[in-house]
Amino acid sequence: MHALNKSLIGIYERAQHCSLAEFNKSALREMNQVVAFDACALADLQVAATGKVVVQTLYLESTPAERFQDRSAVVGQEALAQNGALTSQDDTLVSAFRQRGRSVVADIAATARDPHLLSYCRKYETAHSLAFVSEKTFGCAVPTLGLWRANSRNGYTAQQEEDANVFIPHFIQAREINRRFKSAAATVPASSAMVLSSLMGQVYFADDETSQLLQTEWREWTPPFLPPALMDALKSASAQVFVGKKIAIRAEILNGMLCLKINKIENRSAGLTAAESRVAMLAVRGMQYKEIAKLIDVAPATVRNQLHSVYRKLGVSNKTALAVAMAAPA
């Protein structure tokens, strides 16, 4: 059997059996046998109504998150015109959008003219790049892949470019199959949204409602990294529950990933008064009676009575059960 065909069969097998994080790593390892690279980034891009291009999910292999953050400062805001043309300082990505479904290679030193871009590429040891933008859109997302080589003498050949044209569309399709299988396995109520991320908060999968829900709590937040305030709260919460002003989030570790189930807070507190809801949210955050009382300027006894009323209405008996109830579907 031809080695390329064997690799393609292998990634579809992985799509059915691997977790989402495992699939990305193992399938990219297989890709490295076909089209070698030293580092890569796999992103789902979405286009806002204004044309602004937003990275919805991101997976980085052999490259630090700082590379992605520095890139934003170097290339600035990227936007997509109605004719599908990309406006960006990244000429390789511009060409890849112009030829969606075909790989585009570049010798950075020979083609880049912007000194800031050249400095950025030197910092992250990028001499050659291969960019691929899927011609298929999944939901509202456009899968995009960047492969990088560090050795200036090791450019991509025409044959490797053609191999990439064969392999990468299959990889993207297999990844979508894997995402659907694994996200469906984490059964989420229809009224919820879900995020699957790395344990460090790098988003791997998010359903269509996720960004909108998170932005009701953190207006300025944009993917592909979860809000730092959320990550800090989850690290310090024994019950792995965050309850904010607008949303409640329940977290669990699933196959080495962080699985977040998100619900609108107004659906959780039906039957509670505004004062009871506020006290319940503060209690879930781990605050004691005296701390809550001082914060909202009431007597500790008032807080205790309001919490007892909350427990009775929600049918719970302690703060851990309260946290679960507040983050569970109504």
Q: What is the DSSP string of 300-313?
A: HHHHHHHHHHHHHH
238 contacts 215 by C-beta, under 8 angstroms: no
| 179 and 215 part of one domain | no
| 14 and 156 part of one domain | yes
| 71 and 31 part of one domain | yes
| 13 and 159 part of one domain | yes
Rg (CA), the chain: 23
| 80 and 206 part of one domain | no
- Structurally, the chain folds into a number of domains equal to 2
Domain that holds residue 235: 193-327
**Cα three-residue angle 180-189-287, rounded to 5 degrees:** 115
Domain boundary among 139, 155, 185: 185
User: Half-sphere exposure (CA, 13 Å, Cβ side) for 128?
Assistant: 19
**Percentage above 90 pLDDT, the chain:** 32
The DSSP output letter for 82 is T
CB atoms within 10 A of CB 83: 6
| 244 and 143 part of one domain | no
| 26 and 116 part of one domain | yes
CATH of the domain at 180: 3.30.450.80
Calpha distance 257→19 (Å, rounded) = 9
Q: Computed from CA positions of residues 150, 152, 153, 155, in that sequence, does the dihedral angle turn out positive or negative? A: positive
Instruction: Enter the pTM of the model.
Output: 0.72
Domain boundary among 156, 185, 214: 185
What is the residue-level pLDDT of the chain in tens, covering all 330 positions? Answer: 478 888 889 899 999 888 877 898 999 999 999 999 999 999 999 888 788 888 889 999 998 888 988 898 888 888 988 888 899 889 999 999 999 999 999 999 888 888 898 999 999 999 999 999 999 998 788 999 999 999 999 999 999 999 999 999 999 999 999 888 766 555 544 456 788 888 889 998 887 678 888 988 898 888 899 999 899 888 875 557 777 777 878 888 877 788 888 877 654 555 788 788 888 878 877 778 888 888 788 888 998 998 888 888 887 877 777 776 766 554
258 contacts 196 by C-beta, under 8 angstroms: yes
